[in-house]
Amino acid sequence: MGPDAIPLSKPDVGPLELEMVGEVLRSGRLAIGPMTERFEKLVATRAGCTHGIAVSSGTCGLHLLMQALGIGLGDEVITTPLSFIASANPILYVGARPVFVDVCPRTLNMDPDQLEHAISPRTRAIVGVEAFGNPAHMDAYAQIAAKHEIPMIEDSCEALGTSHKGRPCGSFGRAGVFGFYPNKQITTGEGGMIVTDDSYLADMCKSLRNQGRDVFPDSASEGQKLGSWLQHPRVGYNYRMDEMSAALGLAQMRRFDEMMQKRERVARLYIQRLSGIESLVLPTIEPESTMTWFVFVVRLTTDYTVEDRDRIVEGLRMHDVGSATYFPCIHLQPAYRERFGFKPGDFPIAESISNRTIALPFYNDLTEREIDLIAQTLEVMISRQNLSRS
């Protein structure tokens, strides 16, 4: 891809972000400070939750929840095979076994009926994922989890600001996790956040992210806090978010509505421009869901092979259009196949979809002219004539 290429994604960082990160740098307080607390409050409020616990990545957030829920060796955790690998890796970090459930071909999220059949006496949690930010079925997962008295964790790393049946994503399960890598709806560079209404879980996660130190109520004296700084009742991690990242996130949250309107505009332009193309399946959003659009992913019809798709993505990139094959199935990743004996055909719907998806450039200030150029290039690349020539 050349210097004038249209990238796959691009963060939306403006003067407010520069000002607020600068404020932290000038203050001299670079870690454990007021920006993190303010950022936590804003994200938790947006997700309709009482507590927000900022961490150094979405992956760390999921890991802390596994640990805080006491999940470990011999336990099973149910999740989707059609996601970024970080949805499932935290299950392995604590020694548990991932149990995958095939997806619904319309929403691309785990099929609730199959999910219920996958529950065994060893199941200790369900990790529900909003694939590409689509919040469908989150209510169904929460209901199944409640019925079987196991926690549902919502991996909402692609879904900040979305809602389903009037309820904000992140709030469906016992706890939710957001991710703030630069390609997400908002960014802190690296970063993530756990949100929950469960005070025990919130305190446990706060302790575990901070080397296992005790968590004090707001009323505790500075002396109490300082006195316990080198006391570690449990083995924790350093998964804290720094103040520069939190300031960046805080600025992004203040611009949240404006930024999500821009994303909505880009998605609508794509849908208008691409909806006439017969060999493409566009994202389906349920009428009871709202989207903030993590990415814009289209799918080739079933007459295209995985090789066709790979050639199309390569062709797009050669013509300076950023694109990616979001996502290869997790169960077929080398790290999972060998360890758990998964094979092609285990989750046929997820595999078939994964083989035919293409993520197109998606960011807030993508212009109508660029979208038209992307669509034209895509039309050329998917034409049968072009594919048989290469």
Ligand X SMILES: *Cc1c(COP(=O)(O)O)cnc(C)c1O
249 forms part of the interface with ligand X (CB under 6 A): no
CB of residue 327 to ligand X, shortest distance in Å: 8
- Rounded Cα gap, residues 47 and 43, in angstroms: 6
CB of residue 52 to ligand X, shortest distance in Å: 15
- Rounded Cα gap, residues 159 and 155, in angstroms: 9
> Given the rule CB under 6 A, which of 10-18, 71-79, 84-92, 252-260 is the region that contacts ligand X?
84-92
- Angular region, 260: left φ>0, alpha ψ -120 to 50, beta rest: alpha
Question: Helix axis angle, 15-27 relative to 243-254, nearest 10°?
Answer: 150
Dihedral, 164, 170, 176, 179 alpha carbons, nearest 10: 110
168 forms part of the interface with ligand X (CB under 6 A): no
57 forms part of the interface with ligand X (CB under 6 A): yes
> Given the rule CB under 6 A, which of 106-114, 154-162, 273-281, 335-343 is the region that contacts ligand X?
154-162
Q: Which of 36, 87, 171, 196 is close enough to bind ligand X by CB under 6 A? A: 87
- Rounded Cα gap, residues 143 and 135, in angstroms: 15
Residue closer to ligand X by CB (options 103, 157) is 157
CB of residue 15 to ligand X, shortest distance in Å: 25
How many positions of this chain bind ligand X (CB under 6 A)? 14
Helix, strand, coil tally for the chain in percent (to 5): 40, 15, 45
Asked if 129 contacts 153 with a C-beta cutoff of 8 angstroms, the reply is: no
145 forms part of the interface with ligand X (CB under 6 A): no
Q: Which residue has the tokens 């034209």?
A: 376
Residue closer to ligand X by CB (options 193, 266) is 193
CB of residue 208 to ligand X, shortest distance in Å: 16
172 forms part of the interface with ligand X (CB under 6 A): no
354 forms part of the interface with ligand X (CB under 6 A): no
- Rounded Cα gap, residues 136 and 158, in angstroms: 13
> Given the rule CB under 6 A, which of 54-62, 260-268, 345-353, 374-382 is the region that contacts ligand X?
54-62
- Rounded Cα gap, residues 302 and 281, in angstroms: 10
Catalytic position from the list 10, 147, 165, 184: 184
- Binding positions for ligand X, rule: CB under 6 A: 57-59, 83-84, 86-87, 129, 155, 157-158, 179, 181, 192
